[in-house]
Every structure is written in C-alpha cells, then in structure tokens.
Amino acid sequence: MNKEKNYKGFNLAWVIGIVIVTSIISAITTGVIVYNNNKLSYDISYGDLSNDKDLNEFLTVYASILSDYYEDIDKGALLDKAIAGMMDYLGDDYTTYLDDESTSELFDSLSGQYTGIGVSINNSDKTIVEVFDDTPAERAGIKPGDIIVGFNDTDARPLSADEVVSLIKNTTGEFKLQLQRGDDIVEVTLKNELLITPNIDYYMIDNTKTGYLYMETFSNTLATQVKDALAELESEGMTSLIIDLRNNTGGYLTAATDVASIFLEKGKRIYSLEYQDEVTNYNDKTREHKEYEIVVIINENTASASEILAAALKESYGATIVGATSFGKGKVQQTMQLDDGSMVKYTSAYWLTPSGTCIDNTGIVPDYQVMNQILTDESGNTTGTVDSQLDKAIEVLNK
C-alpha cells in the first residue's frame, strides 16, 4: 500500500481556503469546550456580588488607581491583567484568559467554516497545493501546481503568501487571479464564498472492504462531514472502519456528542459530567447507529473531545483501540466572551467515560499498544516512518 496515502492526516499545514489561516491548536488551548451562554454563574447573582466585601475592596482599589495614579491608565488593559491574574491564581493549565485576537483565532478554527475560494497554498512559493471540491476555485478551473503570480493584474510575485491571502480574503465582489501553469499564464475570475473547513480525510484501504476516516478537530461542522464521508464509503462497499484520532486535540463537546451519536444505538452512554460531586449522564438520543466493526487509532496527542469519542466507541460500541496511550485530559471548560472580544476559559467539570472512569492525567490505554517505526540511515538520520499503528488497525479488521 501507499504509505503516504495511509496517513495524510489532513494536516492543512497552511490552511487557507485562502481564507482564514488555522493554527495548530494545542490540547491546552482547545480542550473540551462548552458554552455557558454568558450566564453569570451557577448560583451567584448580581445582588450577591453587590454585598461582597472582597469585591468591593477590589473595586475601591481599581477606582483609586484610575483616580490617583500619576500616569494615564488604559482601563481595558488594567482589567485584562486583573482577569488574567484570577485565571493564573487557580493554577489550572486549562483555565486561562484569551485576548480578543486569540479568541477570534480559536473561534475561527472551531467554527468549521471560512470565507475564501477553497484552496490550500504553499507558504514559500504560493503554489496551489490542493483544490477542494465544490468551491469557487474548482469551478474556476484552478489546478494543483498553479502558482499565484498576479492579483487583479498586479504583480503578486514580490508578495508573501500571507499578503496574497489577505488580499483575497478581504476582497468583496469579483476579483482576478493570474496563475502560472507551466509556461503559460492563466487568468481566472473568482468570488469568495462561505465554505466548510475540511476537518477530515477518508478513503477505502486498498484491496479491502475497510474504510479509513481521519478527524482533525471537533469543529461545528465535523458531524456533517463525517456523515457525508460515511455515506460515500458505505456506497463503495465498506464493511469495517478505521477512525484515526491521532494528534486531534479536541474542540467542542457538542461536536464529539454529535459524532458519537452517528455510531451508537439510542440510549447508549456517551459520557458523564461530574460537577461538585454531582454526576450527570449524557446518552445517545438519536435513532441513527452503525453496526460495522470499528478500530480507533490514538496517540499521546489524542486529547479531550477526541478522548471522549474514543472512550464512547470503546465502551458503548465495542470498538477496538490501537496506538499509544492518549493525552489524558478529563476536564471540561466553560467559556465566557467579554464585551471587548476577549474571553475567559475555565474548567467547570470532569468528564467520565461511559463506565464512569475519569481519565484525567492517565489517558486511554489502547487494546493494542503499538508505536510507529522510525527509519534511519547508517548515520542515524531519520529517513522516514512506518505507520505501524495503521498497519495494526488494518490487521485487526482483516484477520
């Protein structure tokens, strides 16, 4: 088999969609995120706060600084530091303050949508790496290997890839790109559209009836993409499935729930939340389910929402787990967006597997512990990698 095809991982290295650039998000940044709809809290009212002596003391200090400090004060920056200080005090890696720019980047990466033309480009020479299906770029006839050399008849060769992307995504209405294709210059006319960010990669394993499905992050549109991918794979005769969650650091809890519900039978446990010694169970409420055999591949960077899905598939579906022990993030974060566009993200609960296990700091242990093989030359330099984890998953499903 083609090893490159075996694990593309859809790592949209410089993803664009000529579009919004999605940075690789760490487990600490992404995690398992749920919204609290900006409610004040579980059990504290504004009346309680008005009678809080400690808070009034803080407000007194704040007012004194604004009134008496010898230099001008940026009130927004001062409060940002105060909020960040509260988050730091809690000593929780997953509780943090995000400024407006970081908040915007996080929401963009998890929205599952972007405005653009539907391509990925090479960051160094502005070569089109991939053209996504059913996008303005595909309809305009752009092809992988084309090089962006002009924008609206202006020479784009001196510009960086970032600058070209900015020109494109900030243009309303039609615009023209000049592309170098071999020895020819091709001109296309395009218009940005709202597109789904590809978060998956899928295909049939050669010479088998096994499908392969990689999930990159748990965005708002992931469940829709998974359903479409499964429908296509099933139409090609798929009778078993490999779900690859390696390096997936999480995302929205609702996305993990929606994806799990595609596979589980109605009433099966997906996860539970433990808040202040109270446990709330969350079960599949849909009639949709699957019956084919599933192997899930995980590694040390599989975290949060992806661990929720892996645990649900193992304990409530009967899937087999292959790979390395997962990251072990068993906490859920609430978010609250502030008026200035910034956001606080704080831990609000532990999540538990269907059997009631908390995997925080321990992770999910695979049924088959497998590490990929690193290939080296005589000097010890790395020359490649054998995807032993994927090979084992294929072996388990095709004994």
The domain locations on the chain are: 38-93, 113-195, 198-397
Whether the pLDDT of residue 369 is over 80: the answer is: yes
State the number of CA atoms in the 13 A half-sphere of 391 facing the CB.
12
pLDDT-derived band at 222, boundaries 50, 70, 90: very high
Which DSSP helix (H) or strand (E) runs through 187? Answer: strand 184-190
**Region of poorest pLDDT, from 22-31, 268-277, 354-363:** 22-31
Question: What is the C-alpha to C-alpha distance for residues 224 and 204, in angstroms, rounded to an integer?
Answer: 19
Which DSSP helix (H) or strand (E) runs through 210? Answer: strand 210-215
Provide DSSP, 242-301: EEE-TT--EEEHHHHHHHHHHHSPTT-EEEEEEETTEEEEEE---S----SEEEEEE-TT
In the predicted model, what is the mean pLDDT of residues 173-191?
Answer: 96
Q: What are phi and psi of 244, to 5 degrees?
A: -100, 115
Q: Which residue is listed with tokens 């088998």? A: 208
- The string over 278-294, giving b where at least 16 C-beta atoms fall within 10 Å of a residue's C-beta and e elsewhere, is eeeebbbeeeeeeebbb
Q: In terms of Cα–Cα distance, which of 174, 124, 127, 122 is closest to 148?
A: 127
- Reply yes or no on whether 392 is catalytic: no
Q: How do 368-369 and 113-116 pair as beta strands? A: unpaired
Amino acid 43: pLDDT: 65
Structure-token pair, residue 215: 């999930």
In the predicted model, what is the mean pLDDT of residues 23-28?
Answer: 35
- Reply yes or no on whether 306 is catalytic: no
Whether the pLDDT of residue 143 is over 90: the answer is: yes
Whether the pLDDT of residue 114 is over 90: the answer is: no
Amino acid, res. 204: M
pLDDT-derived band at 34, boundaries 50, 70, 90: low
Question: What is the C-alpha to C-alpha distance for residues 293 and 367, in angstroms, rounded to an integer?
Answer: 15
Which DSSP helix (H) or strand (E) runs through 165? Answer: helix 161-169
Q: What SS3 state is found at 399? A: coil
**Which residue of the set 219, 306, 315, 316 is catalytic?**
315
Average pLDDT of the chain, as a whole number: 86
Q: How do 147-151 and 193-196 pair as beta strands? A: unpaired
Whether the pLDDT of residue 151 is over 70: the answer is: yes
Whether 32 contacts 331, CB under 8 Å:
yes
| Burial of 242: CB neighbours in 10 Å, binned 0-12, 13-18, 19+ | buried
Q: What SS3 state is found at 385? A: strand
Q: pLDDT tens digit string along 314-333?
A: 999 999 999 999 999 999 98
Q: pLDDT tens digit string along 80-104?
A: 888 888 888 887 777 777 877 777 7
Amino acid 168: pLDDT: 93
Whether the pLDDT of residue 10 is over 80: the answer is: no
Q: In terms of Cα–Cα distance, which of 360, 343, 341 is closest to 351?
A: 360
- Reply yes or no on whether 23 is catalytic: no
Whether the pLDDT of residue 120 is over 60: the answer is: yes
In the predicted model, what is the mean pLDDT of residues 358-368?
Answer: 97
Same fold, 113-195 and 198-397: no
Whether 205 contacts 211, CB under 8 Å:
yes
Provide DSSP, 328-342: ---EEEEEEE-TTS-
In the predicted model, what is the mean pLDDT of residues 243-268?
Answer: 96
Amino acid 106: pLDDT: 76
Answer whether CATH 1.10.510.10 is correct for domain 113-195.
Answer: no
**Which residue of the set 240, 272, 304, 306 is catalytic?**
304
Whether the pLDDT of residue 28 is over 70: the answer is: no
Structure-token pair, residue 252: 């929205």
Whether the pLDDT of residue 294 is over 80: the answer is: yes
**Which residue of the set 169, 329, 331, 392 is catalytic?**
329
SS3 per residue for 278-292: EEEEEECCCCCCCCC
User: Of 47 and 245, which is predicted with more confidence?
Assistant: 245
Question: What is the C-alpha to C-alpha distance for residues 161 and 176, in angstroms, rounded to an integer?
Answer: 16
Q: pLDDT tens digit string along 40-84?
A: 455 677 777 888 888 888 888 888 888 888 888 898 888 888 888
Answer whether CATH 3.40.50.1970 is correct for domain 198-397.
Answer: no
Longest dimension (CA), the chain: 77
